[in-house]
Amino acid sequence: MISTHPYVSRKYLIGGQWIQAEKTAKVINPAQTSEVVGEVALCSKADVEEAVGTSAKAYESWSQSEIEDRANRMRLAAEEIKAVVEENVSLLVRENGKVLVEAKKDLLRCVDIMKQGADELLEWWKPESLPGGQKVQIRKRPRGVAAIISPWNSPLILTFKRVIPAVLAGNTVVVKPATSCPLTIMTFLKVVASYFPAGVINIVTGSGGVIGDALCSDPRVRTIAFVGSTETGKEIMRAAAGTVKKLYMELGGNDAAILLADANLDDEAVKRLRFGVLRAAGQVCSAIKRIYVHESRYKEVVEKLTKEFSRIRVGNGIQPDVEMGPLNNKSQYDYVNGLINRAADAGANVITGGIQLDPESWEQGYFIAPTIITGAAQSSEIVRAEQFGPVIPILPFSDVDEVVRLANDSEFGLRASVWTEDEALAVKLADRLEAGAVFHNNHTVFQDLHLDFPGLKESGLSRETRHCGLEYFADSYGLAN
């Protein structure tokens, strides 16, 4: 079955023109792989060079535009985006695999990102006068062309959190969406781009090896914002080193949740724990990926979480009663299944839960049931890897010093959580955990879109806090007499 999206399928955007591609690839519904949702253009290196050149030319005038004009354009675009959210929810579900509730929430947050960025811009841009005998002002200016390389797991939010502040700060952008789910991003950006001069927003799609390399090595690109795996992030750093670009990178995670002996494990707490693991089928950088439980509560936690997992309704996200959908693509599906199978082969206990809403079509999609792993060693692959799927290892610990050592025993350092009724102890542990943010009795995201904290170690680079990300896409300079 083929049902293409007419506005952006097979096309890419350069200089305000949607260009029909000669070469394309299919965008598959991960819940029903026989359905082709649309096609994605396979751009060439020459297409990327043209997009960057067009973006660089547009930057000359856009960088000099009035701040109020930028904010007003963005507010108008936000209103039109809000008006088309409902009609595009199913498109995101069909190409990404999210359930309806999650998909709609993601689309609405794009509207919030646009409005908050526009509101923040006017105050943030004002010059800051420094005290002292010499008159010194800290002023801001845009950086130039920004390359935005987006992931497939939360494509809308993670794209808009970079494109919107980049454009508001006076930059022009070349966006590369993930090939497995580009259609909703491009549909939304089509609306946004229509409110800005031609060339301010450009979109190229296709092979990461071709497009990513071309973007990252082009000297006209001054900023790279990337969300994805740590290994790909390292490749981008190498490619960008020749022209010393500014890098904004959200990379992998292996978040630890620590449940102390006094943790409250009532029904609501267990639901929060489950959500921290299974949101978007576990395909979230900052999802819980390993749980450490005090040995006195270990059996209880395994039993309660097993029961909670068993209630999860798994199926095609387009059905309103589905709580967890499929994995987004075959590569990730094979990887997660491999992790589970190798853990079982190594002697770990695999506990599978969930309710298959449509067992007959289960094999037609990239579905994996919610899975708990017990009996795995700290050194095992299932504990040390970023699973990025609906599978969680649970390990016991005996004392606080031990669990801090276990939690920090990772090359990643994105998020962590401490579950205890002793708030003072939670703060002390947070000070010792190597993570960019630590949650108390929860493991979630920051509701305030102004906030974004950098991961530590190999989990990220140079992410900023406050101001909706505007500060990352501008340079500060001093003006003195």
Whether the predicted model's global pTM rises above the 0.85 cut:
yes
Q: Which of 285, 323, 386, 458 is catalytic?
A: 285
Q: Which two tokens stand for residue 58?
A: 């547009």
**pLDDT confidence of 464, banded at 50, 70, 90?**
low
Which residues of the chain are in CATH 3.40.605.10 domains?
11-251+459-480
Which residues of the chain are in CATH 3.40.309.10 domains?
255-440
Yes or no: say if 472 and 117 are a contact pair by the CB < 8 Å rule.
no
Please provide the size of the chain in residues.
481
Taking the C-alpha atoms of residue 4 and residue 414, their distance in angstroms, rounded to an integer, is 37
Over residues 168-193, the mean pLDDT reads 97
* Mean pLDDT of the residues in the chain: 95
Taking the C-alpha atoms of residue 342 and residue 224, their distance in angstroms, rounded to an integer, is 36
- Give residue-wise pLDDT tens across range 274-314: 999 999 999 999 999 999 999 999 999 999 999 999 999 99
Yes or no: say if 403 and 258 are a contact pair by the CB < 8 Å rule.
yes
**pLDDT confidence of 430, banded at 50, 70, 90?**
very high
Over residues 200-217, the mean pLDDT reads 95
Q: Which of 102, 250, 308, 323 is catalytic?
A: 250
Confidence check: pLDDT of 453 > 90: no
Yes or no: say if 454 and 412 are a contact pair by the CB < 8 Å rule.
no
Taking the C-alpha atoms of residue 417 and residue 113, their distance in angstroms, rounded to an integer, is 26
Element (H, E) at 235: helix 230-240
**pLDDT confidence of 373, banded at 50, 70, 90?**
very high
Angle, alpha carbons 132-137-143 (nearest 5°): 145
Label residue 131 exposed, middle or buried (CB < 10 Å: 0-12, 13-18, 19+).
exposed
**What percent of the chain clears pLDDT 90, i.e. is strictly above it?**
93
Domain 11-251+459-480 class, CATH top level: alpha beta
Write the DSSP string, 109-131: HHHHHHHHHHHHHHHHTS-EEEP
Taking the C-alpha atoms of residue 67 and residue 470, their distance in angstroms, rounded to an integer, is 13
66: annotated active-site residue: no
Q: Which two tokens stand for residue 49?
A: 């060079």
Yes or no: say if 5 and 38 are a contact pair by the CB < 8 Å rule.
yes
285: annotated active-site residue: yes
Taking the C-alpha atoms of residue 415 and residue 418, their distance in angstroms, rounded to an integer, is 11
Residue labelled with tokens 């853990």 = 343
**pLDDT confidence of 454, banded at 50, 70, 90?**
confident
Instruction: List, in sequence order, every residue forming a beta bridge with 172; answer none if it has no partner.
Output: 145
Which of 385, 357, 381, 382 lies closest to 369, judged by CA?
Answer: 357
Confidence check: pLDDT of 126 > 50: yes
CATH superfamily of 255-440: Aldehyde Dehydrogenase; Chain A, domain 2 (3.40.309.10)
Taking the C-alpha atoms of residue 193 and residue 14, their distance in angstroms, rounded to an integer, is 11
Instruction: List, in sequence order, every residue forming a beta bridge with 9; answer none if it has no partner.
Output: none
